[in-house]
Structure 1
Amino acid sequence: MEVIELDEEELNSYGGKLLSDGRRGLFIHGWEIESRRGSILNSSSVLQWEQKLKTSHLPEMVFGENSLILKHVSSGAKIHFNALDALIGWKHKSLPPVEVPAAAQWKFRSKPFQQVILDYDYTFTTPYSGSETIEIDTEKGTSGKLSDGSCNLIWEYCKEQIDVVSLASKEPILYYDEVVLYEDELADNGVSLLTVKVRVMPSSWFLLLRFWLRVDGVLMRLRDTRMHCIFKSKENPVILRECCWREASFQALNAKGYPADSAAYSDPSIISQKLPVVMHKSQKLKLPCPSMKA
């Protein structure tokens, strides 16, 4: 995918403009698309997050200030992605820990004189597929601030799927970014990584939220959430969302003739089709009319 930097005049010719106030992103066809980046959590922030999540375990690198925000301005609907909500999903789901012969050795490296009991999901696998709110301008007449409404967006199950052929067309990329939410290298025995990517074209926006897990020699897990919204000037936007979870043990892959060496599985995009699907669902969201904000 080739991303060409457009100047402001070229961006305007496609109906877009850069966000103001030094924010990273653009406004196009009623959508405000913004990505935010910051440093990893410091020690005091880690303690605060552990208290919020009621846990003493967090990934090695948590980018607590990173986020991706897509806001449909006229309806107030906002879809956003952040590490805290993703970890709330991890904590709530609380999967059993992956059993691995080397697990105790990982922990003994840092605490060689303590017996180790793995009683939590150290892979930080999350069912997270994004966060959403409807922001209601209840205080415009006073302070001009926006406050979150209590209503949630309603996704409906459907048989429609994202048109990947149209996404492969050679449209110019008006905006692209990849935001890391958290990462853990499992003490050099694999990777646990949650990222979200967005790209904006003249006709639509598309994003991929991906959780990628590789426990070397044991297990691979891929949880993808894709969203696509086509710009339509005379209709309220419709967002298609596809969630697909894939998973396989190294043993099962080796039995099918795939390599047993973990080095062969560094890029999830290349090996995703080798992993069997354990869950797939398609949903769509019709954004509310602006009148619903009243």
Structure 2
Amino acid sequence: MIIHGFQSTDVERLADELHMPSLPEMMFGDNVIRIQHGSGFGIEFNATDALRCVNNYEGECLKWPVAKSGRKTDYKKTLLGESLKLKVVPTTDHIDTEKLKAREQIKFFEEVLLFEDELHDHGVSSLSVKIRVMPSSFFLLLRFFLRIDGVFIRMNYTRLYHEADKTYMLGEYTSGESKIANLMHVPPSLFTEPNEISQYLPIKEAVCEKLIFPERMDPNPADSQECTPVE
């Protein structure tokens, strides 16, 4: 098992805390993508909080994939801040994908793997996050991919978009899933390609949110904004 930044005692303690028989084979415990304002509020994505969203019995399902479980791993985000936090409210607004297609200089790009497990050669489970920052906006994509050979494929996405002149971020969470038996019209080679197979998975859940900045915050903090991958 590879767990970056974790000692063996940390592994045992975390597995016990999460009531899981074991953690993913490759868990990058110190890998984080964090977007944080100097006032303290913000959002981050990390492996430990993601595993906390796993149903207590999901761990058994992932390790023994012949168990046909419908339980979900539905990690979306981790909010940061104490006195100041983002306010999350439902919305009907969607991320404007046409703006993401516009030609604009990419000032910063990073992709971070949070965990991966080959499920004892019965499939794969992985969680990764990538972000790109442009002069006028940034876009973040969190992807959970689960394939249990001969059983089903599931993909969860969190998309986060912010325009520089707005006092909020737009978030979209979608979950798609299909039994392998319903994918007989799809070339099996695509089962191992998350970017390709996602279009064949019916959407089971879709949630749109607006993450509103606090009204009271330091307009000119010493460190006004942080957008940092920690590896």
Fold shared, TM-score > 0.5 on shorter chain: yes
Letter in 1 for 2:168: V
Maintained 8 Å contact 2:19/2:56 = no
Alignment partner for residue 238 of structure 1, among 138, 144, 168? 168
**Residue 289 in structure 1 maps to residue 215 in structure 2:** yes
List gaps (5 residues or longer) in structure 1. Answer: 1-37, 104-117, 135-148
SS in 2 for 1:55: coil
Deviations 1:127-184 (A, max 9, x none): 11110122xxxxxxxxxxxxxx166532111111101111111111111111111110
Letter in 2 for 1:281: V
2:179 aligned partner: 249
Alpha-carbon distance in 1 for matches of 2:197, 2:144? 14
Alignment partner for residue 56 of structure 1, among 21, 25, 28? 21
Alignment partner for residue 275 of structure 1, among 171, 193, 201? 201
Alpha-carbon distance in 2 for matches of 1:242, 1:276? 16
Bigger radius of gyration? 1
List gaps (5 residues or longer) in structure 2. Answer: 220-231
SS in 2 for 1:132: strand
Q: 1:92 to 1:289 in 2, by over 3 A?
A: farther
2:186 aligned partner: 258
Alpha-carbon distance in 2 for matches of 1:89, 1:267? 25
Alignment partner for residue 176 of structure 1, among 83, 89, 109? 109
Q: 1:65 to 1:266 in 2, by over 3 A?
A: same
How many Å apart are 1:289 and its aligned residue?
Answer: 2.5
Q: 1:213 to 1:93 in 2, by over 3 A?
A: same
2:35 aligned partner: 70
1:22 aligned partner: none
Deviations 1:262-290 (A, max 9, x none): x3222211221111000001110110023
How many Å apart are 1:224 and its aligned residue?
Answer: 0.3
Question: Structure 2-normalised TM-score?
Answer: 0.83
Aligned length: 217
Deviations 1:82-104 (A, max 9, x none): 11111111146859838x8x73x
2:151 aligned partner: 218
**Residue 85 in structure 1 maps to residue 49 in structure 2:** yes
Q: 1:188 to 1:97 in 2, by over 3 A?
A: closer
2:95 aligned partner: 162
Q: After TM superposition, what 4+ stretches of structure 1 lie above 4 angstroms from structure 2? A: 92-96
Q: Quick one: percent identity of the two aligned structures?
A: 36
Alpha-carbon distance in 1 for matches of 2:203, 2:179? 13
Q: 1:173 to 1:124 in 2, by over 3 A?
A: farther
Letter in 1 for 2:186: Y
SS in 2 for 1:79: strand
Alpha-carbon distance in 1 for matches of 2:51, 2:71? 7
Q: 1:167 to 1:248 in 2, by over 3 A?
A: same
1:207 aligned partner: 140
SS in 2 for 1:160: coil
SS in 2 for 1:177: strand
CA RMSD after TM alignment: 2.9
SS in 1 for 2:54: helix
Letter in 1 for 2:76: S
Deviations 1:229-268 (A, max 9, x none): 0001xx5x210000000000110111xx223x3x322221
